[in-house]
Structures are given as C-alpha cells and as structure tokens.
Chains A and B, each alone.
Chain A
C-alpha cells in the first residue's frame, strides 16, 4: 500500500514570496491533516479535512495560509506571503476515518524562508 505522498521535499524562498505544498493521502483515506513542525518542536495541527470539507482550521493563520482539498483526495497548502517564522517542516497525514487517532504521516516538506 502506497503511503502519504508529499512534494516538494525541500523549498527555499525569500520572505514575502508565496509557496504551495501538495499532498496525496493513502487511497481510501477520507480524513487529511496538515501539521507544521518547527525545529525542536512537536507537530502542530494546522487544518483537518473530512473528504473535501474542512473539519477544523482553528489553528490556521488564515491571513496568510490557505488549504484546499477540492475533490476529496489531493490537497494543497499555500502560504502567501511567507514570513521568516514559517520556516518549518509541513507534514501531511491521513486516516481512514475521522475518529482514527492514529494517523499516517508523509515525509514532509521542509520550508526555509530567508
């Protein structure tokens, strides 16, 4: 079974530029999460989707971050404009059911904002 796929693996941008990350969850997984992991910290939830609907985006900085999952499968996370403090690893995770506490994580995208 293929795992959660994310791209790109690494991205370096200048502050105030925009960037987008892509995630393809495990086939059949209805629930998709985006987490932000700053160096030396644990992952922190940004947004949760159930199929193509948003379940929880309370911790998403909506002035600069946006995410979508239009067809209930792939998802994109965008930052515009980026700030230095956005430097982190962005992890996508999926689970079969919204009630599953154990999620499957992708390899992540390491973003460096300079």
Chain B
C-alpha cells in the first residue's frame, strides 16, 4: 500500500515558466512533509518542508502548498531554470522532530526543464 503517491513519473516545463509537482498521501497521521531533489548519480538533497499547521511555505523560487483536507501537497518552482532538472521526491512523516527514520517517500517525479 503506497502511502505517498506521486502520480506523474515525469514532467516537462519550459525554462522561465512555472513547474508544479504534485503529491498525494493516504495516511491521515502524516504531519510533516518534505521535498527532496535528486540529480543523477547523487544522493537526495533536502529542498523544503512544511508542517501541517501551515498551508504554505516559501523559500526563494520554491513554494510548497499543503491542502490537508484533500491530503494533497504541491511544489511550485517559479521561474523554472535548467538547473532544476532533477528527480523530486515527496516525503512524509507523522511528526516533525521524529527523525528521518519515519519518512515515507513517494516514487519521485522527473522534472525536465526545456530551454
């Protein structure tokens, strides 16, 4: 049973436009959500997180939106740049401060930024 779902295996976006990556979850106990970015032959790198007490968190070009009632979160990248081409993993935990052992990852979405 997949508790964190990223239904788009890949997404192609033109440089300068907005990239929107989606993530759905089924476990209502999830309370803290993270996005990781992964380049080929490298390990995942933490990008941005959001707690369930918020519905939005912003860091530069990256914004994460959380809709708890829909059990849905999304990562917006604007404007998209060539260096944003990577695989993006959505991850969820039952609580912040619980350590990375409680993380459940999605399968990832491969974002391709076209010039």
Contact = CB atoms under 8 A, between A and B. Distances in A.
Are A and B bound to each other?
yes
B112 interface: no
B25 interface: no
B105 A101 contact: no
What range describes how many residues of B lie at the interface?
A: 20 to 34
What range describes how many residues of A lie at the interface?
A: 20 to 34
A113 interface: no
Contact of B42 (A33, A43, A107): A107
Given A101-B49, A101-B96, A101-B100, A4 B32 contact: no
A29 B4 CA distance: 28
Contacts of A44: 105
16 contacts: A33-B101, A41-B105, A42-B91, A42-B107, A43-B89, A48-B101, A56-B101, A95-B100, A99-B97, A100-B99, A101-B49, A101-B103, A102-B34, A102-B46, A103-B46, A107-B42
Interface of A: 4, 9, 31, 33, 40-45, 48, 55-56, 91, 93, 95, 98-108
